[in-house]
Each structure stands twice: as C-alpha cells, then as structure tokens.
Structure 1
Amino acid sequence: MYTHIMVPVDLAHTGRLDKALTCAADLAKLYGARVTYVAVTAAAPGAVAHNPAEFATKLATFAETQRTAHGIDVRSHAITSHDPTVDLDPALLKTVGEIGADLVVMASHVPNLTDYIWPSNGGTIAGHAKVSVMVVR
C-alpha cells in the first residue's frame, strides 16, 4: 500500500517523537516501505549543529539508529533554510514530492487554543499535502 514514508524530525527534541517513530517503523515493516527522516536547519550555527554539513551528519546518524532499532530501510534528507521557523511547512511539503513519499508520518501535540489562530505543523501538512498524512499524538 505504501512504499516510501517521510518522517519529519526535530533533532533537538527526539525524545518527544517516540510514538511517531515507532508508528512509522511499524508501517514500514508492514508494507516493506523505505523511511526517509527529514529535518530542517538554518545555515547559521544552532543548538544541534554548527553548520548544515554537521546537521546532515547528525540526521544520518539518527536514521542509522532507527535502522538498527527497527530493522527498516532508511534514508535521511536534511534541508537548509534561511529561516526554518517560517520555511518549515513549505519546505516539508516540497520535500514530499522531491523524494517521492506516498505517506507522511509526523508527531504533533494535542491541540490547544493557539492552534485556532496558528495551525500546528502537522495540521498544515495534513491540510496541504498531496499524499496521506498520519499525525501521531
């Protein structure tokens, strides 16, 4: 049913992604799908990495830990943006098509009052992606 699952990750908060990561891995095993972990960083030094190359290496290492933990076929795809806060949703939506994903599995929070004013990333991706999106809370 699915052949390529995209999983957006925030390397600064991987501890909050356990349910989504497990869900994506289980779906990958069920359908024999590849999983691509996607993350967005700034060109400037940040809390996770000093530069985009270091960030890409850390994302690749993260993907390898998922391969080892779950026994799935993985890739990583790092995106560099001038302003990840503003560019996150458009960058993720663009990447879905670029990598050929047919499912997006992403973590989200329980909606609160501010989500009526500013939609969550998961809500935006689910509302605009041309593929199926599973938002995991």
Structure 2
Amino acid sequence: MYRKIMVPVDLAHVNAIQPALTTAADLARHYGAEVCYVGVTATTPGTVARTPEEYQQKLDAFAQEQGQVHGQKASARVITSPDPVADLDDVLLEAIEDVGADLVVMATHLPRHLDAVMPAHGGKIATHTEVSVFLVRPPAEQG
C-alpha cells in the first residue's frame, strides 16, 4: 500500500521523536517501503551543524544507521531555509512531493490550548496534502 514513507527529523531532538521513528520503521517493514528522513536546517550555523552540508552528512549517517538497524531502505533529504521555524510547514509540504512520499509519519505533541492560536505542524500538514499523515504522540506519562 505504501512505497515511500517520509519522516521529518530534527537531529537536535532525536530522543523526543523516537516513537515516530519506531512507528515509521514498523510500517516500512510491514509494507516493504523505503523511509526518507527529511531535515530542515538554517543557512546559518546551528546547534547540530555549522553548514547545511555538514547537516546533510549527519542526516545521511542517521538514515544509514536507521536503515541498518531496521533492515530497510532509507534515504535522507536536507532542505535549507533562512527561517526553518517560520517556513517548516510549507517546506515539509513541498518535500512530500519532492521525495514522492505516499505516507508521512511525524512526531507531535499532546494537544494544548495554544494550538488554537498556533496549530501544531502535523495538523497543518495533514490538512494541506493528499497523502496520508500518521501523527505519533509521545507516550502518556505514568502517574
């Protein structure tokens, strides 16, 4: 059913998106799909990499590692933006078409009141693309 799964990745927060990474790997294994990890970085130095080229190298290594761990085809695509925070939704929507994804698996947060003013990225992606979008929430806190 799915041939290419796109997973937005922020290399600065890999631990936080681990549930989405696991979900994407499980779906890719089930459908025999490729996983394309997409990262958006600034054109200026950041906390993960000093240049977009260095970020690409790190994302390529991350994709290769994920592919080996999960035994599936994996690729990486880095997109540069002068303002990744402001441009993220539009850049991800373009990336869906650019990479030929037919499913997007992305991490999201639990709903908050602020979402009425500033909606979550996953919600906007889901409402502005024709491909399926699987939003993965963090595990519920044990209490």
TM-score normalised by the chain length of structure 2: 0.94
Q: Which residue number in structure 2 is paired with residue 90 of structure 1?
A: 90
Q: Which residue number in structure 1 is paired with residue 43 of structure 2?
A: 43
Q: Which residue number in structure 1 is paired with residue 118 of structure 2?
A: 118
CA offsets 1:36-88 (integer angstroms, 9 cap, x no match): 00010001000010000000001011111111211111000000001001111
For residues 115 and 65 of structure 1, the distance between their equivalents in structure 2, rounded to whole angstroms, comes to: 34
SS at match of 1:16: coil
Q: Which residue number in structure 1 is paired with residue 9 of structure 2?
A: 9
Q: Which residue number in structure 2 is paired with residue 60 of structure 1?
A: 60
Q: Which residue number in structure 1 is paired with residue 26 of structure 2?
A: 26
Higher helix share: 1
Q: Which residue number in structure 2 is paired with residue 136 of structure 1?
A: 136
State the 1:116 CA deviation. Answer: 1.1
Unaligned runs of 5+ in 2: 138-143
Q: Which residue number in structure 2 is paired with residue 109 of structure 1?
A: 109
| Identical-pair percentage | 53
CA offsets 1:6-58 (integer angstroms, 9 cap, x no match): 00011110001111001000110100000000010001000010000000001
Pairwise CA RMSD: 0.6
For residues 72 and 111 of structure 2, the distance between their equivalents in structure 1, rounded to whole angstroms, comes to: 31
Q: Which residue number in structure 1 is paired with residue 141 of structure 2?
A: none
For residues 69 and 129 of structure 2, the distance between their equivalents in structure 1, rounded to whole angstroms, comes to: 29
Paired residue total: 137
TM-score normalised by the chain length of structure 1: 0.98
SS at match of 2:35: strand
